Amino acid sequence: MKLSDNEIRDITKLLETGKPLPEKYRFLLFDDKKQVELVWNGKTSDVCNIVLPFQTIEQVDEPRAENDSKYQEDMFDAGGRQLKGWNNKLIWGDNKLILSSLKNGPLRKEIEEQGGIKLIYIDPPFDVGADFSMDIEVGDDTLTKKPGVLEEIAYRDTWGKGADSFIAMIYERLSLMRDLLADDGSIYVHCDWRVNSYIRLILDEIFGKEQLMNHIIWHYESGGIPQYNFSKKHEDIYIYNKSDKKTFNFDMATFPRNVCQNCGAKLEKWNNLKKHIDENGRIFRTIKSAGKIYKYYDDEPILLSDVWFDINHIQQKDPQRTGYNTQKPEALLDRIIKASSNEGDIVADFFCGSGTTMAVAEKLGRKWIGADLGKFAIHTTRKRMIGVQRQLKEENKNWRAFEILNLGKYERQHYIGINPNLKDEEKEKQIVAKEKDFLKLILHAYQAQTVKGFKLFHGKKQNRLVAVGPINLPVTRLYVEELLSESLEKNITKIDVLAFEFEMGLFPNIQEEAKKKGISLAMKYIPREVFDKRAIEKEEIVFHDVAYIEVKPKIETGKISIELTDFSVYYNQDTNIDEKIQKGKSKIIIENGKITKVSKDKNGIIEKTVLTEKWTDWIDYWSVDFDFESRKEIVRTEAGEDVWTGDYVFENEWQSFRTKRDRNLELQSAFVEVEKGRRKIAVKVIDIFGNDTMKVVDVKI
């Protein structure tokens, strides 16, 4: 580095006065060999390296007959459920934390034992004005479900600082994805005209421009907005390899030579050429060019071009449609997965949405990892994958079990600043130190005032006292009983308990006990959105009341079935909106556990129509684990030790759910053969908004 005396003087003066250096000094001061790069406000090479342990929430495996499977027999139990081998993974949470934990945590070893991730396909949110809401059915009507506040902030408010914030978000995640890819792996990044120029430069910088394999133009017939100019009728897919050891199956990316790639019709020009037959009976045609004669066989395939005309958008009535506006057709993923992976390879999608990548990967015999921030996206993908398992079962084909994971309480510890690598004793001290700020945050989000002079209560909202449960533990029966005791001692009759998790089997018995003591007890879930200040400022935080489930076990000789007899919710949202509705308009509200359509006619007269007429209208999905506590939840530490968390994994053994095409719901499970003795049976219900509730019952066979 050689600077003139004038340059040194100018730099010193600018630094002393706190002024920014002109761009030219960046190249004079630093040895930067990059010729072209993308620069944005706040750019940094720092990448998240947090490691949080994954919690296994549920395992799903449609039971099959052992003798129907081509896998080893010792992989399955007597009912055909998978016991060993790779479980596909569906992960709920912030994909930055998920990617970092996959890259740096103990699960990395399990992934590498399977050969590593060979293909990543992502379709990140690239539409600044996109509507991420979706239609859901309620009884015979349809209402629009808006995304959660956390999704709104992550997907839409990503653009709060314009392109800078989007680029910063995707840059860090793509950096983590590159490190996770196997050496012979590749990534397909889907985007459109809004961000394609940024994405190309980011990928060049992370993977190296020499690793660009293709720039695919996906052209479609439907859609396209003129915008007083040429109609926009294509999207872009960039393909980059991790290294020169790429996986690419030529025979899976070909087209017949005599067929139009656009419409699939026989090419008239080709068919008009004179046919010849060689000594083996193969048809060929000749073309003369520049004095030379070239021979081409009809049955000789050619490699697809980088413009794909033959795959269209999903039509409104297509059976594939799940309700997601951004859903991509299975044919698109089928081509990508076949071309850049082989059977048994791991395919990943960290913006999985409705689960198209996972569904196609399963059908093609690939292993998979899917992740999404949206709870409803995870639920939609779960239902879709169960449907795929059932389809493969009918076709006598193989499939794998999948497990639903999240970062749970460990993610919450990260949000409030708890170091997960500390020893338990040190971690407890840090939790105590953070508790004051945590309580202030929760009470502010709940719009409650702080109170003093109580042992367990932290705040007051109107005429109800508020208790906030532990940061990293579920609220237990003992905790609630202590609250009731303090309430009786101090003549408190109305209390709210806020918690991230509640002890399984706590409801509805504890509320009935409180009622007998003259205490109105409300239990509410703390939403994850409380950790985002912008969500609190918007006053859009909703603390949902805990739902409760009623079930009836039906026992026959050596068999048991579960009947779902009641499901109650207490959601309240947008209840005071009569004055907000304009004349001639209507709005959907949730009031005392009922979804109601409120309409105001031209004269200002309000009319309310209840959409959830029956308790079953609230249920989208329910499932049963007939032997809960048979599988402990094990977390592997960074040291490689397996530790029991004290919880159990819900093993999904039977389920009934609604789909777009079939709105029916079975209310009694199939009978399942069981051994004699006492056992705990768990029932999980997921409502139409994707919120889940579980009940555990003790049964003697």
| pLDDT per residue as tens digits for the range 562-621 | 999 999 887 665 544 555 677 777 777 776 677 787 888 888 888 888 887 888 988 999
SS3 string, 187-252, reads EEEEECCCCHHHHHHHHHHHHCHHHEEEEEEEECCCCCCCCCCCCCCEEEEEEEECCCCCCCCHHH
Confidence of residue 67 (pLDDT cuts 50, 70, 90): very low
pLDDT at residue number 461: 94
508: preceding bond cis by omega (within 30 degrees): yes
Per-residue pLDDT at 525 exceeds 70? yes
Query: 369, 117 in Cβ contact below 8 A?
Result: yes
Average pLDDT over residues 261-280: 74
pLDDT at residue number 684: 94
Q: Quote the tokens at residue 67.
A: 């003798």
C-alpha dihedral sign at 528, 529, 530, 531:
positive
Q: Quote the tokens at residue 465.
A: 């006292």
Per-residue pLDDT at 39 exceeds 90? no
Averaged pLDDT score across all residues of the chain: 84
C-alpha dihedral sign at 453, 454, 455, 460:
negative
Selected residue with higher pLDDT from 323 and 649: 649
pLDDT at residue number 77: 67
Picking from 50-59, 406-415, 549-558, which range would have the lowest pLDDT averaged per residue?
Answer: 406-415
Average pLDDT over residues 369-391: 92
Q: What are phi and psi of 39, to 5 degrees?
A: -120, 135
Per-residue pLDDT at 341 exceeds 70? yes
pLDDT at residue number 285: 87
Average pLDDT over residues 670-679: 91
Show the domains of the chain with their CATH numbers: 1-33 (no CATH), 55-253+304-406 (3.40.50.150), 430-537 (3.30.750), 548-641+653-700 (no CATH)
Where is mean pLDDT largest: 141-145, 505-509, 652-656?
652-656
pLDDT at residue number 433: 80
Average pLDDT over residues 501-507: 72
Per-residue pLDDT of 90-125, as tens digits, reads 999 889 999 999 999 999 999 999 999 999 999 998
Q: Cβ contacts of residue 566 below 8 Å, gap of 6+?
A: 549, 550, 615
d(CA 138, CA 140): 6
pLDDT at residue number 153: 54
Confidence of residue 202 (pLDDT cuts 50, 70, 90): very high
d(CA 600, CA 104): 56
d(CA 663, CA 454): 49
pLDDT at residue number 310: 84
Per-residue pLDDT at 31 exceeds 80? no
pLDDT at residue number 349: 98
Average pLDDT over residues 42-51: 84
Helices (H), 90-162: 95-104, 107-113, 149-151
Confidence of residue 66 (pLDDT cuts 50, 70, 90): very low
Quickly count: other Cβ atoms within 10 Å of residue 594's Cβ: 18
Per-residue pLDDT at 506 exceeds 60? yes
Per-residue pLDDT at 233 exceeds 50? yes
Per-residue pLDDT at 329 exceeds 50? yes
Average pLDDT over residues 624-637: 88
Per-residue pLDDT of 399-458, as tens digits, reads 999 999 998 777 777 777 777 777 778 877 887 788 888 899 899 999 999 999 999 999
Q: What is the dihedral of CA 257, 258, 259, 262, to 10 degrees?
A: 70
